[in-house]
Structure 1
Amino acid sequence: MAATSQHPLDPGTVSRLLSGRHDDPFSVLGPHRHGGATWVTAFDPGAEQMAAVVDGKEHPLPRIEGGLFSGQVPEERPYHLRGRGDGGQWEYDDAYRFGPVLTDLDEYLLGEGTHLRLWEALGAHVRVHQGAIGTHFAVWAPNARRVSVVGDFNAWDGRRHPMRRRGGTGVWEIFVPGVGEPHCYKYEIIGPHGELLPQKADPVGFGSQHPPETASVIRDIRGYGWKDGRWMQERANRHRRDAPISIYEVHLGSWKRVWAEGGRPLSYREAAVELVAYAKDMGFTHLEFLPLSEYPFDGSWGYQPVGLYAPTIRFGPPHEFRDLVDAAHQAGLGVLLDWVPAHFPTDAHGLARFDGTHLYEHSDPREGFHQDWNTLIYNFGRQEVANFLVANALYWLEEHHVDGLRVDAVASMLYRDYSRKAGEWIPNVHGGRENLEAIDFMRRMNATAYGRNPGIMTVAEESTAFPGVSAPVDAGGLGFGYKWNMGWMNDTLSYMSREPIHRKHHHHQMTFGLHYAFSENFVLPISHDEVVHGKGSMVGKMPGSWWEKCANLRAYYGFMWGHPGKKLLFMGCEFGQRGEWNHRAQIDWDAVAHGPEHRGIQRLVRDLNTLYRAEPALHARDSEPEGFQWIEGGDADNSILAWVRRGFENDPPCVVVCNFTPVERRDHRIGLPLPGRWIEVMNTDAAIYYGGNRGNQGGVLAEERGWMGQPFSAPMTLPPLSTLIFKLDR
């Protein structure tokens, strides 16, 4: 060790600093009183000489050992460091002369697990602190012995910026002056047993590198100039149960590609123009994106996220994602995000064993490992973990003005035995299979999200009969606004895939959903899951010749839009894409350009959306039994269905009639609830939809002849493989 007569460091401290294993660096580095004088201790392994510069004057800091220097400076005066080595000279502010940034209130709320704006405390924030501009880093790692921020600003050297531990909260922080956007960084952590862990991305980081690179990126998310004030004021009415909600589900990476530039996907800003204009023209009310929080593997489509607080860099930085949301709102479209709090991947740079312990996940694989997806399950019973997830929901809703979250894989959260055999799961405290901690988390998330942002909507992808998914929390429900009707989707697609001659034996698959249609606030989902993994495309599921396939699909869409429940359709399905969805390429826009049958299906969906939005009878009582009445639900032999849809008192009712055989039925009498002329407002066999143009010449006149339990009726022409919708002309 080089000789210095008065430096305040003992050999053990010097050794821990040089090896990067000092757990309290702020007690040593920076300015400290010693022997009645102020000493500055600095560590810079690239320096051969070091000085503290005060009011323009150098005060040498003698070298102790390696890159460790310590010396006296004038008392209580600001300084910066000047290093020399290898023929060069550099200057910088000393991170260790700055005090903490987190407040006592932050520390209290973090410790309690109730910090609802967690992202304002943790993560990397560009800010001015004690007169200097830089970045404040803070991360939760309660079992770590030492945490350092490493990055391209400090040669990824964990000895240079070890962080300050904040009391008993397990949070570590440091303000690094002179560092800002878009520097890359990670956290280097020494675990509880002294082991050096793989470098970790920031769990609350706002940006990431382009995969396969895995570092977090400093992003300054302050100061976005929103222009969607009118939408934000009015959006609560767009999400009511009596509002028309028709959702266009999009995987942004494969909606459209720029082939002139190597086939790259559209950026957020390009989608703000092209996608928003298309969805609006098609009559949808909302865009729903497959997960856009950062994820390492393209093939997961975002459902294995690592950076829950970072909009994926694949399409641009955070402000450009906001451009997309803002543009959608200005066009009158809501924006929903698929959100994944059910599980997370095991990637070494992610949350797995984050501080050397099972911090975010359960330690027992019977509770903490998803066998189906090779992922880890959050420990929902740990307050800090639940806070991390609840705050993440609020982050998207409040910082990015997202209008709602579709929560993925809710069934896997509800049940401890989900996809497990006997002996592979642990019962709850009452001996049951329900995951009580996950249920409490979902209730807390929904109550908090709706309480702080009353205009939003949350949607559960939930495939079981768990009661009260969309019932309010104070009524014992989970508190979601809506639930995907997976049973309806599975039953009806199974029916439609059959040859018409066999459908009469499966008629119940089209009617069974009405037994429970009003038990929840349902969304009818034709999602990405129905057109991948060998399931084929929507038109490919249909039987018969090519014309019959298209007719079946058109009839099915008419059935869907006339059926109680909000609507969701995955991209490409709106024009009958022939092939299965491939996330590595764009959807088949060439089919629309060159195929009249595809343009016909596309126009049908546009017209169905327009009709659905215009007629309260088709949407206002989607979730109420008073809005639906069977006219004919039992004609299995002819595969004919007919029902009434009703809005409120002054809304004209609609009648929906489906013929799921390839047989045209002339003069087929259908019961009607009221007298007068019934206008044929939709016929999926119309020529403009590539149909045979058979129908009722604009409408039918109700006769005072009771039929099918209705006081009136009319003979109708039911085209083959078609759905007709009639509206009472008042």
Structure 2
Amino acid sequence: MTTTAPHPLDAATISRLLAGRHDDPFSVLGPHSHEGSTWVTALDPGAEDLAAVVDGTEHPLPRIEGALFGGRVPDGRPYRLRGRGFGTQWEYEDAFRFGPVLGSLDEYLLGEGTHSRLWEALGAHVRTHEGVPGTHFAVWAPNARRVSVVGDFNAWDGRRHPMRRRGATGVWEIFVPHVGERHCYKYEIVGPHGEMLPLKADPVGFGSQHPPETASVVRDIHGYGWSDAEWMGARAARHRRDAPISIYEVHLGSWKRVWAEGGRPLSYREAARELVTYAKDMGFTHLEFLPLSEYPFDGSWGYQPIGLYAPSIRFGPPHEFRDLVQAAHEAGLGVLLDWVPAHFPSDAHGLARFDGTALYEHADPREGFHQDWNTLIYNYGRREVTNFLVANALYWLDEYHVDGLRVDAVASMLYRDYSRKAGEWVPNIHGGRENLEAIDLLRRMNVAAYGQSPGIMTVAEESTAFPGVSAPVHAGGLGFGFKWNMGWMNDTLSYMHKEPLYRKYHHHQMTFGLHYAFSENFILPISHDEVVHGKGSMIGKMPGNWEEKCGNLRAYYGFMWGHPGKKLLFMGCEFGQRGEWNHQAELDWAAVQHGPEHRGLQRLVRDLNLLYRETPALHARDGDPEGFQWIEGGDAEHSIFAWTRRGFGPDELCVVVCNFTPVERRGHRIGLPAPGRWVEALNTDAAAYHGGNRLNRSVLAEERGWMGQPFSAEMTLPPLSTLIFKLDR
């Protein structure tokens, strides 16, 4: 055993190192000049003896005190440390002999809050540094007194790898040799008042342990061999206002389960085969996933994320999520992710009081606490926080080739008094209720996303009348590509829930949406929120006996696909699942297997998608009032609606007719905008959809003005049905 040796350290320094409280460990540990030679100081709590090995020769490092050793080594020569203790010997690289990894440009951009590729500077990066493989760790914790990376590679001992502070940026970094893929780690942080904080997961970590475990996991996200260049180069055309966009919204954990293996959810790779094949066959243009960034609580469905930079390990590691995206692109499907910059949970291992202060969140609960969700609100006025969020949006678009982001809970971001009573919120600098900093963040995100990832789309879930959500930033808007039409959804579902006898008193609920349908680029959403928390399933919302419920839902989907606006449908709604969505189980696929009415509804949605995609009149002018004209919007007594949809060509015409009563109407005259034969392109009462098969096939327009149209024809309107006619010259 070595004996205490002369050394250059004072008692206070030794005490701080041994206690893991030194705020500048690189100034002491590792190689330093001392009395004209190189002196190495090392801390190894498991060693009885320690030596530096240079070119195979040992140079003893006598014990200074406790686990601290030091001694002279040959000048300018790389060395390794060799420890002995308790009958064993080990050898390793000294992390404190390596220089910084972050450069001056990184420091400048981090300090300025403009590092658009933040994830390339922060997080855990597998790399070779100064000729040695390992992992570079970097984390922002400006108010910490000391930060250490701890993990399964250092016995979770914060004394072993305290990190280097990088100037005024508040960033700490360290390169740890021979740490790589799949190692677990967290950050051990001493707060500004000397308090030891709960171990923290990496805010920019690329992987996590399986919940309920909470450590970050080193994942090498580089080197994926993308082969979707053709899709990426052409996708912009698929996201235009005049493109058909029909989105299948999916909670991956409950779409389908593998019962032979304990009922686990599908992996990313299994979804790449089964889900992608299904969505393509159903005619959807896009898959939209409820949040896949790592989250601790299954019951949040991903809307309370902690690992914003980590694809959830529930379904596989990062490269396997890329496999899913690539498979979707190969099948001609876009991929959208739900993204949550509105709030984050207060779990001890997360962002809450990350360095012992309100760092990512507001200190004042009137600004920083969401009463509805018991979560914390980001401090959008802090440049490093907005950098963290904007860069995260770019990260998913760039690293995972996703085609767009649906931003959750935008309304809660826009207003400081969202869901708050008087006195529970803080006005903005002008005394108003708008959250100016959040507005700026959303604009900055959209400008960056569209500017740096050409061809993508962003979507706002925004439930108020905030102006210009989908208007360009340069025109004063928020810059989103599209906005969910929550008003349309609420009104039309309220109407459909009523018994047909009473619908005539609520006729306006189906027509009111046209007063503002062209004020934004709208998506009509029937989302997960409509089939949970006691709201019932879509088919359960419909009145009447079982056959009438099916007819109502078929007619409603026909109304939706014929109405201006892009489409979104949550999984299970396409075949009329009877029960509410349960995130802990799979969809009721048995209903499709055994129920002809469910198969009929499924086939209807498939045919609606195909008709919608191949018919410009149904999508090309979704955001243009010139693409829509009422034929009959006022027949409340009979609950009949009829309208024209137009494309850009003179023959791109469709007429949509809805009958929302259980009464068949034969010989009912409907006005038509043009002469010729009008072919019944779709009838929701067809036998193929498990309807009564009361079809028209086609009608010939007579030169008889009706309903303000120059032509008209008599037709049969089946009970609870929607008909779509196309002009056939």
Paired position in structure 2 for 1:112? 112
Partner Cα separation in structure 2 for residue 708 and residue 567 of structure 1 = 28
CA shift, 1:651, in A, is 4.4
CA shift, 1:453, in A, is 1.1
Paired position in structure 1 for 2:672? 672
Partner Cα separation in structure 2 for residue 487 and residue 278 of structure 1 = 30
Q: Which runs of 4+ in 1 moved over 3 A?
A: 2-5
Report if aligned partners of 1:343, 1:377 keep a CA contact under 8 Å in 2. yes
Paired position in structure 2 for 1:437? 437
Which letter does structure 2 place at the counterpart of 1:520? Answer: E
Partner Cα separation in structure 1 for residue 650 and residue 169 of structure 2 = 59
Which letter does structure 2 place at the counterpart of 1:527? Answer: S
Paired position in structure 1 for 2:728? 729
Paired position in structure 1 for 2:174? 174
Report if aligned partners of 1:30, 1:41 keep a CA contact under 8 Å in 2. yes
**Is the partner of 2:379 in helix, strand or coil?**
coil
Paired position in structure 2 for 1:276? 276
**Is the partner of 2:402 in helix, strand or coil?**
coil
Q: How many residues align?
A: 729
CA shift, 1:145, in A, is 0.2
Paired position in structure 2 for 1:149? 149
**Is the partner of 1:168 in helix, strand or coil?**
helix
Partner Cα separation in structure 1 for residue 451 and residue 125 of structure 2 = 27
- Per-residue CA distance 1:77-107 (angstroms, 9 max, x = gap): 0000000001000000000000000000000
- Per-residue CA distance 1:496-533 (angstroms, 9 max, x = gap): 00000000000000000000000000000000000000
Partner Cα separation in structure 1 for residue 524 and residue 65 of structure 2 = 69
Paired position in structure 2 for 1:709? 708
Report if aligned partners of 2:5, 2:63 keep a CA contact under 8 Å in 1. no
Paired position in structure 2 for 1:190? 190
Partner Cα separation in structure 2 for residue 204 and residue 350 of structure 1 = 11
Paired position in structure 2 for 1:206? 206
**Is the partner of 1:470 in helix, strand or coil?**
coil
CA shift, 1:649, in A, is 2.1
Partner Cα separation in structure 1 for residue 355 and residue 111 of structure 2 = 17
- Per-residue CA distance 1:383-404 (angstroms, 9 max, x = gap): 0000000000000000000000
Which letter does structure 2 place at the counterpart of 1:593? Answer: Q
**Is the partner of 1:728 in helix, strand or coil?**
strand
Report if aligned partners of 1:352, 1:361 keep a CA contact under 8 Å in 2. yes
CA shift, 1:225, in A, is 0.4
How is 1:245-284 mapped onto 2 (pairs within 5 angstroms)?
Answer: 245-284=245-284
Partner Cα separation in structure 2 for residue 227 and residue 275 of structure 1 = 20
**Is the partner of 1:401 in helix, strand or coil?**
coil
Give structure 2 stretches of 5+ with no counterpart: none
Partner Cα separation in structure 1 for residue 126 and residue 572 of structure 2 = 41
Which letter does structure 2 place at the counterpart of 1:727? Answer: K
How is 1:425-504 mapped onto 2 (pairs within 5 angstroms)?
Answer: 425-504=425-504
**Is the partner of 1:713 in helix, strand or coil?**
strand
- Per-residue CA distance 1:240-293 (angstroms, 9 max, x = gap): 000000000000000000000000000000000000000000000000000000
**Is the partner of 2:169 in helix, strand or coil?**
coil
Paired position in structure 2 for 1:510? 510
Partner Cα separation in structure 2 for residue 5 and residue 351 of structure 1 = 44
**Is the partner of 2:52 in helix, strand or coil?**
strand
- Per-residue CA distance 1:140-183 (angstroms, 9 max, x = gap): 00000000000000000000000000000000000000100100
Partner Cα separation in structure 1 for residue 326 and residue 590 of structure 2 = 29
How is 1:256-655 mapped onto 2 (pairs within 5 angstroms)?
Answer: 256-655=256-655
Q: CA RMSD in A?
A: 0.8
CA shift, 1:5, in A, is 4.6
CA shift, 1:4, in A, is 4.0
CA shift, 1:652, in A, is 2.1
Paired position in structure 2 for 1:74? 74
- Per-residue CA distance 1:580-604 (angstroms, 9 max, x = gap): 0000000000000000000000000
Partner Cα separation in structure 1 for residue 705 and residue 693 of structure 2 = 29
Which letter does structure 2 place at the counterpart of 1:594? Answer: H
The TM-score with structure 1 as length reference comes to: 0.99
**Is the partner of 2:32 in helix, strand or coil?**
strand
Which letter does structure 1 place at the counterpart of 2:455? Answer: G
Partner Cα separation in structure 1 for residue 568 and residue 66 of structure 2 = 63
**Is the partner of 1:726 in helix, strand or coil?**
strand
**Is the partner of 2:329 in helix, strand or coil?**
helix
Which letter does structure 1 place at the counterpart of 2:49? Answer: Q
Report if aligned partners of 1:242, 1:619 keep a CA contact under 8 Å in 2. yes
Partner Cα separation in structure 1 for residue 53 and residue 453 of structure 2 = 50
Report if aligned partners of 1:561, 1:608 keep a CA contact under 8 Å in 2. yes
**Is the partner of 2:623 in helix, strand or coil?**
coil
**Is the partner of 2:147 in helix, strand or coil?**
strand
Report if aligned partners of 2:4, 2:65 keep a CA contact under 8 Å in 1. no
- Per-residue CA distance 1:627-674 (angstroms, 9 max, x = gap): 100000000000000000000024420000000000000010000000
Partner Cα separation in structure 1 for residue 412 and residue 674 of structure 2 = 47
Paired position in structure 2 for 1:720? 719
How is 1:76-95 mapped onto 2 (pairs within 5 angstroms)?
Answer: 76-95=76-95
Paired position in structure 2 for 1:35? 35
Which letter does structure 2 place at the counterpart of 1:144? Answer: A
Which letter does structure 2 place at the counterpart of 1:44? Answer: D
Give structure 1 stretches of 5+ with no counterpart: none
- Per-residue CA distance 1:350-373 (angstroms, 9 max, x = gap): 000000000000000000000000
Paired position in structure 1 for 2:8? 8
Partner Cα separation in structure 2 for residue 293 and residue 21 of structure 1 = 33
Report if aligned partners of 1:616, 1:651 keep a CA contact under 8 Å in 2. no
Partner Cα separation in structure 2 for residue 541 and residue 107 of structure 1 = 56
- Per-residue CA distance 1:191-227 (angstroms, 9 max, x = gap): 0000000000000000000000000000000000011
The TM-score with structure 2 as length reference comes to: 1.00
Paired position in structure 2 for 1:242? 242
**Is the partner of 1:601 in helix, strand or coil?**
helix
Partner Cα separation in structure 2 for residue 14 and residue 62 of structure 1 = 14
Pair 1:57-2:57 in alignment: yes
Report if aligned partners of 2:182, 2:219 keep a CA contact under 8 Å in 1. yes
- Per-residue CA distance 1:5-50 (angstroms, 9 max, x = gap): 5311111100000000000000000000011111000001000000
Which letter does structure 2 place at the counterpart of 1:669? Answer: R
Which letter does structure 1 place at the counterpart of 2:277? Answer: A
Which letter does structure 1 place at the counterpart of 2:617? Answer: A
**Is the partner of 1:633 in helix, strand or coil?**
strand
Partner Cα separation in structure 1 for residue 154 and residue 624 of structure 2 = 61
Partner Cα separation in structure 1 for residue 47 and residue 626 of structure 2 = 79
Which letter does structure 2 place at the counterpart of 1:689? Answer: Y
